[in-house]
Structure 1
Amino acid sequence: MLITGCGSGTGDDNAKAKPAVEPKPLAAGALRPLLLSQADLGDGYVQEDPSNGEFDDVSVQGCASLENLGQNGDEMMFASQAETSFTYNAGATLGEELHSDRPSVLSSKLRELFGAYTSCPTYSMTAGNTPIEVKVAKSATPRIGDEQFAYTSTMELPSGAQVLKTMAVRKGNVAVLLVGAPALVDRHIQTAVDKLPANS
Structure 2
Amino acid sequence: MQTKQRRISGAVAAAACGILTLAAGCSSTHATAKHDAEPKASRAAEPRSPAAPGASPADLKPVQSQRLRRYLLTTDDLGPGYTQTETPDDEKAADPHRYDDIGMSGCPALEELSKHSDEVQFATETSAGFAFGTDSELSEELHSDTPTKLSAGLRRLVHAQTSCPTYTMTSGSTPVTITVRKDAAPTSGPDAYAFTTTLNGPRGTSVLKTTAVRRGNVVVMLVGAPALVDRHIEAAVAKLSSV
- Give the alignment's TM-score, normalised by structure 2: 0.69
1:72-130: CA deviation from partner (whole Å, max 9, x where unpaired): 32321101000001111021110000000110111001110000011100000012221
How far apart in 2 are the matches of 1:178 and 1:186?
9
Quote the sequence identity (%).
47
Taking a change above 3 Å as real, the CA distance of residues 21 and 177 of structure 1, as seen in their structure-2 partners, is closer
Q: Give yes or no for contact 1:155–1:161 (8 Å, CA) kept in 2.
A: yes
Q: Is the 8 A contact 2:58 2:147 kept in 1?
A: no
Give the SS at the match of 2:111.
helix
Q: Which moved more, 1:160-169 or 1:62-71?
A: 62-71
Deviation at 1:141, TM superposition (A): 1.8
User: Any idea what SS the aligned residue of 1:189 has?
Assistant: helix
Code of the residue aligned with 2:212 in structure 1: it is A
State the partner residue of 1:175: 219
In 2: Cα distance, 1:139 partner to 1:173 partner: 24
For structure 1, the 5+ residue unaligned runs are 1-18
Greater Rg over alpha carbons, structure: 1
The residue type equivalent to 1:29 in the other structure is Q
Counterpart Cα distance in 2 of 1:168 and 1:20:
19
- Equivalent AA in structure 2 for residue 91 of structure 1: D
Which residue is 1:31 aligned to? 68
User: Which stretches in structure 2 are left out of the alignment for 5+ residues?
Assistant: 1-55
**Count of residue correspondences:** 180
Contact 1:167 1:185 in 2 (8 A): yes
**Displacement of 1:35 after TM fit?**
0.2
Q: Which moved more, 1:124-133 or 1:65-74?
A: 65-74
The structure whose residues are more often helix, as a share, is: 2
* Conservation of the 8 A alpha-carbon contact between 1:148 and 1:170: yes
- Structure with the bigger percentage of strand: 1
Structure 2: how far apart are the matches of 1:21 and 1:185? 29
Question: What is the alpha-carbon distance in structure 1 between the residues aligned to residue 57 and residue 133 of structure 2?
Answer: 47
> Per the alignment, do residues 148 and 27 of structure 1 end up closer, same or farther by CA in structure 2, a change over 3 Å counting?
same
Aligned equivalent of 2:156, options 107, 112, 132: 112
Aligned to 1:137: 181
| Residue identity opposite 1:150 in structure 2 | A
**Residues 21/186 of structure 1: CA separation in 2 closer, same or farther (3 Å cut):** closer
1:184 is displaced (CA, Å) by 0.5
TM-score (norm 1): 0.83
Partner of 1:98: 142
